[in-house]
Chains A and B, each alone.
Chain A
Amino acid sequence: MSKYQNTCDPMRLSRLWDHELEPDEAIRIREHVSSCPSCQKRYREHQLVSNVFRAGMDNVMSQIRFDSLENKIWERIRERQAPWQSSVRLFFSSRKFLIPVAAIAAMLFVFFSLTVRTPAPVVGPSALITSFTGDISSVMFLETPESHQTIIWFQETF
């Protein structure tokens, strides 16, 4: 008489279901199951769960478009094959690039608007003197401090 024959052994029953017992051990467990309602019930439970799991999985699989999945795999491989272009594209399209650029532009604008002063507008001469015709008693040459315009001041004698 085998030591397994009259003993319920759920662990071995699980291995029997998985076809993972040695042939002689499988025969002994089968003999036990054939005369044990409790093990028969457990074995039927394994069967039911297995059937539901497989059938559910088959149903899900039938809904999947593997052609499209294969195309996606190739798309991603092509992207990886051209790492330079894709990384540049990714860099420019990402927020990592846009946010710092916007921040730097804003800072530069503020900096230049505060520090760079616009030069004073150049004012044209008030009069052009082409020649002197009379007698001049005195002449003064002046220059404006910022725009460096020359002023000629003179006094005519009549």
Chain B
Amino acid sequence: MSKLNTDSWDDAKLLSLLRQGNEEAFRVLVQKYQARLFRTAYGITYNKEESAEIVQEVFLKVWENLHTFREESKLSTWLYRITVNLCLNWKRTWKRRFRQYHQPLENPDGSEIPELRNDEDHPESLLQQKEQEKMLWEKIGLLPEDARAILVLKECEGLSYEDIADLLKIKKGTVSSRLFYARQKLRDLLKDYFDEKEGA
């Protein structure tokens, strides 16, 4: 598939053409949103294969149900909403949870925990830093999925509280308190690490 210039397509134009069954518009939609939706899905599932399947399912749903989209929210919000709902209701959720609680020392999809830096610093401190980052990444993975969903939408997608509230159909105040809860929970999980870091 060739790369299209997705910048020149705003959502209103895209939607109008999509409603006419324009395939190029759908390709633009896929290229414009697949990475964002994948990131959101991965933030919740912590699993690449599942996230890829979920993203495919999202676009299939959009293809088939575009006529039901009433433009009460932004197109992007609708896409994120489908993604989050699919992630939270995915049929293999129980499996994912099982893996999460029984194999906490490696990524659920069996891949390496992402390395976050290049080997430019001193090897010893770098190694230590990598270990700490791995540990932090794992701890984030221990958060409940709904808490991680809200965290990824804010931290990685940079959505506003208003957009997240619209997306999850909750109040803005609830977004604020759930984010606070997620951070508080992380703080508890990382208490020893933070205390050690401050003491050093």
Contact = CB atoms under 8 A, between A and B. Distances in A.
B183 A46 contact: yes
Nearest to A81: B63
B176 A20 contact: yes
Interface string B73-117: 000000000000000000000000000000000000000011111
Contacts of B114: 55-56, 59-60
* Dominant SS among interface residues on chain A: helix
Contacts of B186: 49
11 contacts: A14-B179, A49-B136, A57-B152, A61-B38, A63-B48, A64-B38, A69-B52, A70-B31, A73-B34, A76-B60, A80-B60
B196 interface: no
Given A46-B183, A53-B156, A77 B136 contact: no
Given A59-B115, A77-B63, A49 B184 contact: no
Nearest to B115: A59
A73 B31 CA distance: 11
Contact of B39 (A42, A57, A70, A74): A57
B64 A52 contact: no
Contact of A53 (B60, B140, B190): B140
A80 B30 contact: no
Nearest to B136: A52
B180 interface: yes
A21 to B, nearest CB: 10
A53 B176 CA distance: 19
A73 B30 contact: yes
A72 B60 CA distance: 11
Contacts of A48: 136
Contacts of A59: 114-116
A32 B190 CA distance: 25
Nearest to B154: A18
B64 A69 contact: no
Interface of B: 1, 27, 30-31, 34-35, 38-39, 42-43, 48, 52, 55-56, 59-60, 63-64, 113-117, 133, 136-137, 140, 151-152, 154-156, 160-161, 176-177, 179-180, 183-184, 186-187, 190, 194, 198
B184 A10 contact: yes
A70 B60 contact: no
Contacts of B42: 57, 60-61
A71 B31 CA distance: 11
A50 B160 CA distance: 16
Contacts of B60: 73, 76-77, 80
Nearest to B31: A70
A20 B136 contact: no
A52 B138 CA distance: 11
Contacts of B155: 50, 53-54
